[in-house]
Structure 1
């Protein structure tokens, strides 16, 4: 979880324009949630060194596996021009040098992401990175992000790397360990499939190339591999091959049509390419599919698995190099009764599944081959319900050094086992949540009440938690109601046991009177959803910025729209020391309410674009504002503002308990000061 970051950034005095002190240091730790809580869309093991593996996430960066099954975050750095590197579109390892790892970094190909993509290269297991900049965008959080891997290192010549781009940008190649890149002009199949043509969000762009893989036996060490396979998101011809080290390319004859290639893995011992197919790249919706096998010597395609029109298709696929013919593949989107995984020991001639469905009605309907272990994430059953295997299973990997060990990513966590071959003995194996340390959920709101738990959080996808101990996974999500994506959370200043949260569902406003232990839906939440909710100091008023307006309710009576503030997108804040004081910002306009949010008066439009409002929790009317021009301060409830300190740009600002004897709170900000973008603290802002 990105509430605390693994890299200590410089600290500075926010309120004085003198030299910045960069000598103070913090030891940062992630708040433990017990599971990733978000989409793990790629897992890759090193074939060179035992125990080396990496997992990529859509918005949370790259993680490296540790010996105790935990994960180390490799991209918990902060910079206002590097935030999009937390989106990882692909990952590749050098098969002959375990210290070398590469990622394709970028979050969106849409207009709202201003930054082009980069290939990041590391020679020290991801501890440090060098960057190669591309002239177009990558999309780690775009549709089809669990396809792949679209980045691959030549197993015979590690200086050669291929990258398959999105957006119709084609195939790219580096011959110098990722330092420089050039488009492969002879490769023209760009993968033209679009999930939802015309969509302006995640599903309106060309998916592009889905995987790149090599036949390691096609040349000798030190010479570029001659046989290369490239998969595309294109229903007419999906798999292309070069047999002259990438000079020329052609679609492999006889391949299935009407489906997209998802994952391709080559078996050198069988001289065969395994390919999983699905008829869509929609991250959240399935489709029909197959698994095929292409024998390069006989040039024949053989269908080895069919979902029989059940509408889920196939996604993550892995081979066991220690057990010739052992292959596993996950269903792309099987929502009922659970996601499934298929396993074959004979190259796909016969299969068993991780669970079977009993139609007789005598046994429990789903007969599992595993015992489910979520002891590291006790809240997970509340999210998954009766689904134990998971969903959105786009990546599955068998440890090349240990046939007992496998991992796969889902939309909520990583599952895996160290007793995999029990499956073949008809003995249940332990299927465990194995994502400790991978706290990659999108954090959408936090509050730290002065009494009760140290932290209450709300997040995307899995709701959020009451954190009674920051070093121990929370036991339960926020429940009754539970919303997948929860937008905001706030506690009342003088009655911190009263808490409000808003979420993406009809009736998306809930209240708690016991600091988040129990909840009930606001009596007049109606059908509204989302937005940002705040409580007055006594907890009797709720101000809800929703539906392009600001609405107020007292004691759960019907909401009334604030009449004298223009429609728009708002940032709201409350004064925790005065029941009537509320603040709001829309674009560059700052508003003040003295009647518990019932009406507002604009006080200024001259301090820059307002990103966040921070309020002194110990003194009335002491307000701080983060804007694109820096940090601004008011001691008269926002009637007037003065520039505070040397920050030239600020994204977040909040105040907390004093770190000194001054009695004035410490101020925390994400800002740019003297050219350094990072997290700052000041203890010198005594007015």
Structure 2
């Protein structure tokens, strides 16, 4: 969950006035993680049009199913002013006019989302939308978001819709296709259940409200309002299933109902004249330790308990529920949260009289698993095989959505906390008791991206992601094979690379109470990792910076202030920096780190052990990010609530980029021309326009690079990084729609094959621009300052001139050793073998790190 930051706006002048912002057409696409990555609380098939289905996400918007099993995102236009559109609490697809689809959107009902909710209305299957504003909030990412659907269309008169609200706002009705809404005053219950009344944030202490609305299509006739409507309410200990026989004018509690548990789903089987209901003892999606499944015979007003398991086998509630409209009496239900040994799904072909499971015990620890498994579209999900002993959760968890295709009995889909699974041979369950289970979420990218970096060598991108750790992206179009491992936390929160040795990576976890340290380091671009045992177990979160030569980790933690560790020794407090300071390392001088807090800018010249204030950043109160030139020591940019600042003298003085009101995230990337200054990309307010911009001349001129169809949601939550190898390519992480990459329209497509995940760093030289405004910071207090040299380790054979930031020497190098005017050839990654832990190998002569 991400809270919206409301920051003050101010304009400060220093650089020449910014020119009018123009726009440049960009091509945008997702960095493919493989589908899912987050909770899918709802999947709905249209009952009248074959192949038409939609999925909703709690923080990632809504999607439409394509004929090739891929999904098309429908809400990518949502920008900072409409970021809560990505929280979808309910979805309805029209059974009469199948072009119509409706979404109930809004992220939180507490203070984290200051906006009221809305019903989004589409007349073209989600290609375009109009908005019906509501007078109350909607909670697409609140507890109970997997119940439903709370929004329903009358199957006999599709101008009528009902919507069940949260927070005590009750039941609402529209008679003009969702344009306006009126509360149904006669409805008897607004809901009483709250997950945790003591929660002071309001997240778990809000009333869950209405669970679902289900029309009995058989009770009416075309063109007239359907008389019989069932509504489930999140109550425990009181009536929770209500019925109207007069199109919603009056309501009564359905007699004989169970009120011990909360009704999560209410699904009608028209041919059986039966309502099926799944129950759990919590609102979900995380909880649920008991529950039942019941069916209600409408003609006889009789309830029958059809719970698939009992006794010690019942340790979960029930969520996802579906009937096969082609095969009356066939019903499926999912365990809401069977955390061990795996998720569970039950299937009945006799209206719930008997059930068969997707797995069962043979004898501990051996299981009989009645499926084959493929996660080829998202191989990081787990082992792509069926292990008959205890292993990974392959079937899933948080299984609140399960739907059988109304036109194809072999096709079903269900959502989990990480993806969408399904099958195209479902009826084999009944004959062979063996189906093909596969990940089917291609096109759904729902991750909450915490940070991203694009090192100058190695993989194209590295990410840290909420709930699923993070990835080494060696391709933008092929999903990663696995999450970061050893350690594998639920959520990684930040990541950085060492400027002189960019294959050296550090990442930070955010799992309080974990038995693993929350710092890990890699020497091979994130392909493999080791725990940094210098970290204490009780420290989590925050931001991290890796020194240029990868021997020092500076950590501005969420729990224990700013800490520093060198050579993986125990982290110690940095008393000279305030808690919560933003931090960065110089990318060339190993001894230098930068920090900011309030209006103060700090510099350390002793590998982050002590800091001193070198300047102030106007009247800033909330610095957001520090970005350092990848090749020039002391060239530093800082964004704050008072604008964008730039220093070329190690933070001794700063100039302010005029016209830039506020920058939330920014990055430096490859220059537009050889020898030029790196391009700068920013999520910012520039000239009164909030969006995403690029400047190729250090802020004098800007172009806006996002458009009306790519808003990227909440701008305050989105990290940015830029490609140092390819001009124009930028990466934007989002809070709910994964990672986007953009290139100028017409640019060459990204690599389709995997690039090497590691690259050599021995004796490779880089170019460092020589300027009169950059002051070299003394590193005499450091015993491991980086050595520079103008000679390479082998004799070159070329006499040509290298461009800016190009290679100009190194082991085996046969290219140019002379730089263009204004640049100096500087050897990178020189190894000082007289300093621990580096040692010269007596056989090869190579300098190696002995740890």
TM over 0.5: yes
Task: Please list, as runs of the form range in 1=range in 2, the aligned pairs for 1:353-368 lying within 5 A after superposition.
Answer: 353-359=357-363, 365-368=366-369
> Aligned with 2:60: secondary structure?
coil
Q: Decide whether the 8 Å contact of 2:666 with 2:682 is kept in 1.
A: yes
Q: Which has the larger radius of gyration?
A: 2
Q: Decide whether the 8 Å contact of 1:229 with 1:241 is kept in 2.
A: yes
Deviation larger for 215-224 or 478-487:
215-224
String of CA shifts for 1:457-516, please: whole Å, max 9, x gaps.
110111111111111111111111111111111100111011000112341100111111
The answer for unaligned runs of 5 or more in structure 1 is 1-13
For residue 557 of structure 1, what is the aligned residue in structure 2?
569
For residue 187 of structure 2, what is the aligned residue in structure 1?
187
Query: Given the alignment of the two structures, is residue 308 of structure 1 paired with residue 310 of structure 2, yes or no?
Result: yes
Q: Please report how far the alpha carbon of residue 314 of structure 1 lies from its aligned counterpart in structure 2 after TM superposition.
A: 0.7
Q: Decide whether the 8 Å contact of 2:146 with 2:284 is kept in 1.
A: no
Measured in 2, the distance between the counterparts of 1:463 and 1:203 equals: 25
For residue 536 of structure 1, what is the aligned residue in structure 2?
547
- Aligned match of 2:354 in 344, 350, 357? 350
For residue 518 of structure 2, what is the aligned residue in structure 1?
508
For residue 58 of structure 2, what is the aligned residue in structure 1?
58
TM, length-normalised to structure 1 = 0.94
Q: Please report how far the alpha carbon of residue 533 of structure 1 lies from its aligned counterpart in structure 2 after TM superposition.
A: 1.6
Q: Please report how far the alpha carbon of residue 138 of structure 1 lies from its aligned counterpart in structure 2 after TM superposition.
A: 1.4
String of CA shifts for 1:33-73, please: whole Å, max 9, x gaps.
11311111111111122111111111111111111111111
- The 1:141/1:588 distance shift into structure 2, 3 A limit, reads farther
Task: Please list, as runs of the form range in 1=range in 2, the aligned pairs for 1:471-510 lying within 5 A after superposition.
Answer: 471-503=477-509, 504=511, 505=514, 506-510=516-520
Q: Please report how far the alpha carbon of residue 566 of structure 1 lies from its aligned counterpart in structure 2 after TM superposition.
A: 2.6
Q: Decide whether the 8 Å contact of 2:645 with 2:655 is kept in 1.
A: yes
Q: Decide whether the 8 Å contact of 2:285 with 2:336 is kept in 1.
A: no
- The 1:570/1:436 distance shift into structure 2, 3 A limit, reads farther
- Aligned match of 2:633 in 620, 623, 626? 620
Query: Given the alignment of the two structures, is residue 462 of structure 1 paired with residue 464 of structure 2, yes or no?
Result: no
Q: Please report how far the alpha carbon of residue 332 of structure 1 lies from its aligned counterpart in structure 2 after TM superposition.
A: 1.0
Measured in 1, the distance between the counterparts of 2:699 and 2:325 equals: 65
Measured in 2, the distance between the counterparts of 1:419 and 1:15 equals: 66
For residue 692 of structure 2, what is the aligned residue in structure 1?
679
- The 1:621/1:114 distance shift into structure 2, 3 A limit, reads farther
For residue 273 of structure 2, what is the aligned residue in structure 1?
271
Measured in 1, the distance between the counterparts of 2:532 and 2:353 equals: 57
> Aligned with 1:115: secondary structure?
coil
- The 1:178/1:579 distance shift into structure 2, 3 A limit, reads same
> Aligned with 1:424: secondary structure?
helix
String of CA shifts for 1:364-417, please: whole Å, max 9, x gaps.
722122101111222211699432211110100011111110000001111000
For residue 263 of structure 2, what is the aligned residue in structure 1?
261
> Aligned with 1:119: secondary structure?
strand
For residue 122 of structure 1, what is the aligned residue in structure 2?
122
Measured in 1, the distance between the counterparts of 2:298 and 2:57 equals: 33
String of CA shifts for 1:139-169, please: whole Å, max 9, x gaps.
1111121111111111111121111111111
> Aligned with 1:269: secondary structure?
helix
Task: Please list, as runs of the form range in 1=range in 2, the aligned pairs for 1:358-437 lying within 5 A after superposition.
Answer: 358-359=362-363, 365-381=366-382, 385-437=391-443
TM, length-normalised to structure 2 = 0.76
Q: What count of residue pairs does the alignment treat as equivalent?
A: 670
Q: Please report how far the alpha carbon of residue 600 of structure 1 lies from its aligned counterpart in structure 2 after TM superposition.
A: 2.7
Q: Please report how far the alpha carbon of residue 657 of structure 1 lies from its aligned counterpart in structure 2 after TM superposition.
A: 1.1
The answer for unaligned runs of 5 or more in structure 2 is 1-14, 385-389, 701-851
Q: Please report how far the alpha carbon of residue 15 of structure 1 lies from its aligned counterpart in structure 2 after TM superposition.
A: 8.2
Deviation larger for 383-392 or 570-579:
383-392
Measured in 2, the distance between the counterparts of 1:30 and 1:16 equals: 35
Q: Please report how far the alpha carbon of residue 308 of structure 1 lies from its aligned counterpart in structure 2 after TM superposition.
A: 1.7
Q: Decide whether the 8 Å contact of 1:211 with 1:263 is kept in 2.
A: yes
- The 1:510/1:65 distance shift into structure 2, 3 A limit, reads same
Measured in 2, the distance between the counterparts of 1:254 and 1:314 equals: 20
Task: Please list, as runs of the form range in 1=range in 2, the aligned pairs for 1:73-152 lying within 5 A after superposition.
Answer: 73-152=73-152
Q: Decide whether the 8 Å contact of 1:195 with 1:282 is kept in 2.
A: no
Query: Given the alignment of the two structures, is residue 642 of structure 1 paired with residue 655 of structure 2, yes or no?
Result: yes
Measured in 1, the distance between the counterparts of 2:403 and 2:308 equals: 21
String of CA shifts for 1:113-146, please: whole Å, max 9, x gaps.
2222111111121122211222222111111211
Q: Decide whether the 8 Å contact of 1:78 with 1:677 is kept in 2.
A: no
Q: Decide whether the 8 Å contact of 1:312 with 1:332 is kept in 2.
A: yes
- The 1:625/1:284 distance shift into structure 2, 3 A limit, reads same
Query: Given the alignment of the two structures, is residue 593 of structure 1 paired with residue 604 of structure 2, yes or no?
Result: yes
Query: Given the alignment of the two structures, is residue 229 of structure 1 paired with residue 230 of structure 2, yes or no?
Result: yes
Q: Decide whether the 8 Å contact of 1:660 with 1:683 is kept in 2.
A: no
Higher RCO (CA < 8 A, seq sep 6+): 2
Query: Given the alignment of the two structures, is residue 609 of structure 1 paired with residue 622 of structure 2, yes or no?
Result: yes
Q: Please report how far the alpha carbon of residue 352 of structure 1 lies from its aligned counterpart in structure 2 after TM superposition.
A: 1.1
Q: Please report how far the alpha carbon of residue 577 of structure 1 lies from its aligned counterpart in structure 2 after TM superposition.
A: 2.4
Q: Please report how far the alpha carbon of residue 636 of structure 1 lies from its aligned counterpart in structure 2 after TM superposition.
A: 2.9
> Aligned with 2:84: secondary structure?
helix
Measured in 2, the distance between the counterparts of 1:107 and 1:588 equals: 33
Measured in 1, the distance between the counterparts of 2:43 and 2:317 equals: 20
Q: Decide whether the 8 Å contact of 1:203 with 1:282 is kept in 2.
A: no
String of CA shifts for 1:160-203, please: whole Å, max 9, x gaps.
11111111111112222122122211113112111111214532
Measured in 1, the distance between the counterparts of 2:353 and 2:671 equals: 68
- The 1:138/1:662 distance shift into structure 2, 3 A limit, reads farther
Measured in 2, the distance between the counterparts of 1:193 and 1:15 equals: 59
Deviation larger for 379-388 or 54-63:
379-388
> Aligned with 1:420: secondary structure?
coil
Measured in 1, the distance between the counterparts of 2:176 and 2:654 equals: 54
Q: Please report how far the alpha carbon of residue 306 of structure 1 lies from its aligned counterpart in structure 2 after TM superposition.
A: 4.9
Q: Decide whether the 8 Å contact of 1:589 with 1:610 is kept in 2.
A: no
Measured in 2, the distance between the counterparts of 1:487 and 1:607 equals: 25
- Aligned match of 1:320 in 306, 321, 324? 324
Q: Decide whether the 8 Å contact of 1:454 with 1:467 is kept in 2.
A: yes
Q: Please report how far the alpha carbon of residue 548 of structure 1 lies from its aligned counterpart in structure 2 after TM superposition.
A: 4.3
- The 1:25/1:147 distance shift into structure 2, 3 A limit, reads same
- The 1:118/1:572 distance shift into structure 2, 3 A limit, reads farther
Query: Given the alignment of the two structures, is residue 443 of structure 1 paired with residue 438 of structure 2, yes or no?
Result: no
- The 1:100/1:591 distance shift into structure 2, 3 A limit, reads farther
Q: Please report how far the alpha carbon of residue 232 of structure 1 lies from its aligned counterpart in structure 2 after TM superposition.
A: 0.9
> Aligned with 2:427: secondary structure?
helix
For residue 199 of structure 2, what is the aligned residue in structure 1?
199
For residue 216 of structure 1, what is the aligned residue in structure 2?
217
For residue 283 of structure 1, what is the aligned residue in structure 2?
285
Q: Decide whether the 8 Å contact of 2:405 with 2:412 is kept in 1.
A: yes
For residue 17 of structure 1, what is the aligned residue in structure 2?
18
String of CA shifts for 1:279-323, please: whole Å, max 9, x gaps.
111422222111111122211111111542422011000111111
For residue 246 of structure 2, what is the aligned residue in structure 1?
244
